[in-house]
Every structure is written in structure tokens, then in C-alpha cells.
Amino acid sequence: MKNLRNKLIQFGIYITLIAFGYAIARFVNLPHFEVSKTIDISNVITLIVTAWLAILITTVFEKQNNDYRVEKDLIITRVGNVFDIAASLQLESNTGRIHLTEASSSIKRINSSLVSIYKIVDKCHFSITDDIKERIKNNISDLRSILTNTPVITDEELTSQDLPITIRDSIVHYNKDRVSEIEVKFDVLKDLLLELQIEINKK
């Protein structure tokens, strides 16, 4: 509303200047210029109404576009926050050990944040393709599994010193192969989140 009021004030100033200029030209003889001494009121009214509507429509559409852009930027920022959580968890898991609670809670935060983002997107009246949602969902499910689930192992594997994952005192330990597997999954997730940001930005 403040922007609209400023536009209308500017419009009033322009009309005043035009009227003032016309008055000067009408009552002061200027060489090489001839100004009509009569005014067609209907044309003046039409000009004023047309100019006023142009400013009003431009202002309304500009506000709508700005609001829409702000909404998208806020949603994209929320996706960026999810990206940061994933990057932090990836960095921690790269050490080969992570607290079980931290791994579980971070995955839960990623999931709940994405659900919240999807709901906000629906309220903003634009959509995200089911394909990207499904790929992100499957990737997070895989990450949860390789980060926290201990596989069924044989008696021979019980004596192995290089199990893919072990949990001792609530600390999850990974071998090098599992760390590499986790690394790949996180890279895929981050790529998917960037893809999601791009898709939202194109709406």
C-alpha cells in the first residue's frame, strides 16, 4: 500500500506539472509555438484515467510478482537449510564413526523439513514433481539404512575385524567401504536438493 501511495503521489505531481506547463504556454506567447486556447475535457479525462489505470495495474502486478519471488526465495532457503544438515552429517560420517542418536535425529530432521517444505509449496499454489520427491525419499531411506542398520551377518563374519558397521556404546563405527557408500549417497542427496531448488526457482 505504501508503494501504491507513492506512485499515486508521483502521478499527481506529474499531472500538476503538465497542467502548470500548459497554463504557462496558454497565457505566454512563445515564438514558433502555437498552443490551442481550448481544451477538450473528454480527452483530458481519458488521458488522466488511462494513466492512472496504467500506474495502478503496473503497481498491483509488480507487488504480486515481488510477493511470489519472496515466497520462492524463502522456500529455496529452507531447502538450503536441509542441504546444510545433510552436508554436516556427511562430514561427521566421513570420520568413520558417529553417535547413533545424532545420525537418527539428523535423518529425521531432513525428512520432517522436506515434508514441511512440500506443504508450504502447496499453500503457495505451485507444485513439485512427484519424480523428484520420490527420488529424494528413496535416497533418504537408503541413507537411514546404511547409517544406522546393522546387517545380518554369518558366524564367520562375527570374527571379522572389518565389519561394514558396528555399534558399541551408542557409537556407530563404519569400515572404509561403508564410508565410501555413505559418501556416494550423500552426494546424490545434495544433487537432488539442488535439483529441487532449481525446479522451485523455475515455477
Boundaries of domain holding 84: 69-202
Residues 192, 109, 148, 144, CA torsion sign: negative
- Angle separating helix axes 130-148 and 176-202, nearest 10 degrees: 160
Q: Which residue has the higher pLDDT, 186 or 11?
A: 186
**Confidence at residue 153, expressed as pLDDT on a 0 to 100 scale:** 56
**Confidence at residue 188, expressed as pLDDT on a 0 to 100 scale:** 98
Please check the confidence at residue 15 and state whether its pLDDT lies above 90: no
**Confidence at residue 125, expressed as pLDDT on a 0 to 100 scale:** 79
Please check the confidence at residue 41 and state whether its pLDDT lies above 70: no
Query: Is residue 60 assigned to a domain?
Result: no
Query: Is residue 160 assigned to a domain?
Result: yes
Domain of 179, CATH number, reads 1.20.120
Query: Is residue 53 assigned to a domain?
Result: no
Query: Is residue 112 assigned to a domain?
Result: yes
Model confidence pLDDT, tens digit, residues 56-78: 666 666 776 676 788 899 999 99
Mean pLDDT to the nearest integer, 90-111: 95
Residue 196 near residue 128 (C-beta atoms within 8 A): yes
Model confidence pLDDT, tens digit, residues 160-190: 667 888 888 889 999 999 999 999 999 999 9
Q: Which pTM does this prediction carry?
A: 0.67
Total structural domains within the chain: 1
CA separation for the pair 174, 185 (Å, rounded): 15
